[in-house]
Amino acid sequence: MIDVLVVDDDTRVAEINAAYAAKVEGFRVVALAHSAAEALARIAEMPVDLILLDHYLPDENGLSVVRELRALGHQTDVIMVTAARDVATVQAAMRHGALQYLVKPFNFAGLRAKLEAYATLRRTLDSVGEAEQAEVDRIFGTLSAGAIAPELPKGHSPTTAEVVRQVLLAADGPLSAQEIAERAGVSRQTAQRYLKLLERTSRVRLTLRYGETGRPEHRYVWVPST
Across the chain, what does the average pLDDT equal?
83
Strands (E), the chain: 2-7, 27-33, 50-53, 77-82, 100-103, 175-176, 204-209, 217-222
- Provide the pLDDT for residue 149: 46
State yes or no: pLDDT of 104 exceeds 60: yes
- Distance separating alpha carbons of residues 17 and 171, to the nearest angstrom: 24
pLDDT single digits (tens) 110-157: 788 888 888 878 877 776 666 555 555 555 555 554 455 445 677 777
Q: What pLDDT sits at residue 102?
A: 84
Choose between 176 and 210: higher pLDDT: 176
Report how far residue 3's alpha carbon sits from residue 152's, in angstroms, rounded to the nearest whole number. 30
For 39-49, the pLDDT digits (tens) are 999 999 998 99
